[in-house]
Structure 1
Amino acid sequence: MKTTEWTAVATAKELGRRRKLRVEVDGLAIALFQSEGRVYAFADVCVHQDRSLFKGTLLHGKVICPGHQWQFDLETGYEADQDRCQPTYPVRVDDDGTVYVKTEEASA
């Protein structure tokens, strides 16, 4: 059984005022979003038309894809109008502001 490891991907300071950041872990593109003091991690490529979610908008607890405006819930990755989920990853932020992601545990 493979042990899942937390991977440091960014700092809260790097998320900055934009509240979003695109990072890569072993060639996997991940879009980080910060909302209401929490950080969320999504597979960057939209399940609908392969658009970068990092280029989307954060609004009312959702990530809005720049392609066809699908709205993925920050907590679950679920798109209610389309009955589809965007893969998400567990996130941990340490006291020093380091953001960690577990890519082996994607939920979709």
Structure 2
Amino acid sequence: MSFTKVCTLDDVWEGEMEPFTVNGHEIVLVCAEGGEISAFQGVCPHQDIALSEGTFDGKKLICRAHLWQFDAGTGKGINPDDCALAVYPIRIDGEDILVETEGVEPLFAHS
């Protein structure tokens, strides 16, 4: 696996999300309540809308268009529950946040 530095821990605070383009992949980094950092596809699987334009309450990402909701720890759909976000492996190296994009493709759902 080849990880790419995306940002530092100071760039994503607890309860925040930040969009990034990494090796041509649109991703969103989230720092959930408790400080766990995750990386997901940056677009809603419903209609390809940037998740960074939605909201994040520390537990779930909510798309602005149709209010689809995703668990910030797993990427699994909450509403609706039959969809999910692609998860990108991350690694923390000191203060740096690194993401692996190889082999990960965005997921898309029913309309």
So what's the TM-score if we normalise by structure 2? 0.81
| Mapping for residues 1-108 of structure 1, pairs under 5 Å | 4-16=1-13, 19-35=16-32, 36-59=34-57, 61-82=59-80, 83-95=82-94, 97-106=95-104
Number of residue-to-residue matches in the alignment: 104
SS at match of 1:54: helix
Letter of the 1:102 counterpart = E
In the TM superposition, what whole-angstrom CA distance separates every residue of 1:45-90 from its partner, at most 9, and x where no partner exists? 1100111111221225211111111111122211133201111111
SS at match of 1:13: helix
TM superposition outliers: structure 1 runs of 4+ over 6 Å: none
Contact 1:90 1:106 in 2 (8 A): no
Q: Structure 2, unaligned stretches of length 5 or more?
A: none
1:54 and 1:61, CA in 2 relative to 1: closer, same or farther beyond 3 A? same
Contact 2:54 2:63 in 1 (8 A): yes
Q: Structure 1, unaligned stretches of length 5 or more?
A: none
In the TM superposition, what whole-angstrom CA distance separates every residue of 1:27-61 from its partner, at most 9, and x where no partner exists? 21111111121111111111001111112212252
CA distance in 2, matches of 1:106, 1:27: 11
1:73 and 1:49, CA in 2 relative to 1: closer, same or farther beyond 3 A? same
SS at match of 1:103: coil
The RMSD of aligned alpha carbons is: 2.0
CA distance in 2, matches of 1:16, 1:77: 19
Letter of the 2:56 counterpart = L
